[in-house]
Amino acid sequence: MVRFGPSVILVALGLYLFHKTKKQPVSNKRTADQITAPDTRQWFSGYDIWRLADAEVLKIADNFGAEVRRTQQKIAEIENERRELRTTPSGLGALSELSPAMAELENRASEARTLYAASEQQLIAANEKIVENLYEKLASGKLIASGFHHPVGANPSYTEIPAAEWRILRFSIGNKEAEGQGIKYVGITWRRLEEI
């Protein structure tokens, strides 16, 4: 049996305590436990990113979308009335396009089409505000996006897209890809910052 003297034991204990209490470097890499643990964060892909925009801009777009649907319905109702008038017999046969009733329907249809065009333009502008809001959140780091750097090689790495790159990146193909200035990511998913 080998016996160690007190000085060898003290040196070994000192080395053990030194390594045990030594400050470990901070790493952004996930540990093996984190990698094998299920990811419980809520991720979004494709057009689901719109759900991550601010509630105010979503509400505005929803209101304009509802107005577009209402005017579409109004136009369809007017068209049905016109069809009925064309087939309704009068003393001289079906009503002509020049009859006062048809002229009144044409005026209503024209007003509805004008309202529809205006509502559609407001909806387009509201949707552009949503996209602008999302880019601002991505560039500020309030939203986190991850994807594969393109071109995808044999052993691709799914990486977090740096927030600063969202100043030049733009969505494409159903919001699953983003590119700009020669940088491209594919297979993109999104999450809120607080879900780290």
- In this structure, are strands 44-45 and 183-192 parallel, antiparallel, or unpaired? antiparallel
Closest CA relative to residue 142, chosen from 180, 177, 182, 192: 192
Query: pTM (2 decimals)?
Result: 0.67
pLDDT digits (tens, 9 = 90+) for 121-162: 999 999 999 999 999 999 999 999 999 988 888 888 888 999
pLDDT at residue 92 greater than cutoff 80: no
- Which of 89 and 31 is assigned the larger pLDDT? 89
The answer to whether 41 touches 195, Cβ cutoff 8 Å, is yes
pLDDT at residue 21 greater than cutoff 50: no
Closest CA relative to residue 133, chosen from 195, 196, 49, 64: 49
**Beta pairing partners, 190:** 44, 145
% of the chain surpassing 90 pLDDT: 46
How many other CB atoms are found less than 10 A from the CB of residue 50? 17
